[in-house]
């Protein structure tokens, strides 16, 4: 089954404790990205990657890092999480960056206390 898988789905962590949200897709997609969803602010892109070793900032990259060492994986790293990073995070992928459908994972609920 074609899917985007992200883990963990739910996490409560403390301020400053590094964490990684993993994302993997099995569709051989070139394009991957991360979004966060917040009440009143909607969905905003954090980072995106057009292919292996090619990443770029989205609209709200502060406090986040990403890497794309393999085509299927695109982890989101919070080096020193803060409470304003409490959010619902979505990983997404698409075959390319030219208008094709973007498919989303099921989301990761992250709470930073």
Partner 1 sequence: GNSVTQMEGPVTLSEEAFLTINCTYTATGYPSLFWYVQYPGEGLQLLLKATKADDKGSNKGFEATYRKETTSFHLEKGSVQVSDSAVYFCALRLPAYNQGGKLIFGQGTELSVKP
Is 104 a binding residue for partner 1 by CB under 8 A? The answer is yes
Q: Where are the beta strands (DSSP E) in 14-113?
A: 19-25, 31-38, 42-51, 54-57, 65-66, 76-78, 87-94, 103-104, 108-112
Distance CA 43, CA 112 (A): 19
Is 61 a binding residue for partner 1 by CB under 8 A? The answer is no
CA 86 to the chain's CA centroid: 14
Structure tokens at 8: 């963990």
| Closest separation in Å from C-beta 49 to partner 1 | 9
Is 34 a binding residue for partner 1 by CB under 8 A? The answer is no
Choose the stretch contacting partner 1; rule: CB under 8 A; options: 11-19, 21-29, 43-51, 75-83: 43-51
Is 77 a binding residue for partner 1 by CB under 8 A? The answer is no
Is 106 a binding residue for partner 1 by CB under 8 A? The answer is yes
Binding site for partner 1 (CB under 8 A): 31, 33, 35, 42-43, 45, 48, 50, 56, 58, 90, 92, 94, 96-107
């Amino acid at each position: 089954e074609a899917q985007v898988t992200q883990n963990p789905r739910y996490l409560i962590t403390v301020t400053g404790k590094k964490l990684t949200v993993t994302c993997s897709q099995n569709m051989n997609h070139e394009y991957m990205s991360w979004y966060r969803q917040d009440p009143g602010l909607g969905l905003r892109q954090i980072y995106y990657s057009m292919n292996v070793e090619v990443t770029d900032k989205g609209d709200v990259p502060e406090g986040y890092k990403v890497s794309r060492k393999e085509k299927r994986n695109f982890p989101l790293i919070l080096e020193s999480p803060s409470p304003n990073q409490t959010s619902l995070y979505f990983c997404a992928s698409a075959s390319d960056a030219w208008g094709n459908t973007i498919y989303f994972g099921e989301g990761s609920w992250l709470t930073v206390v």
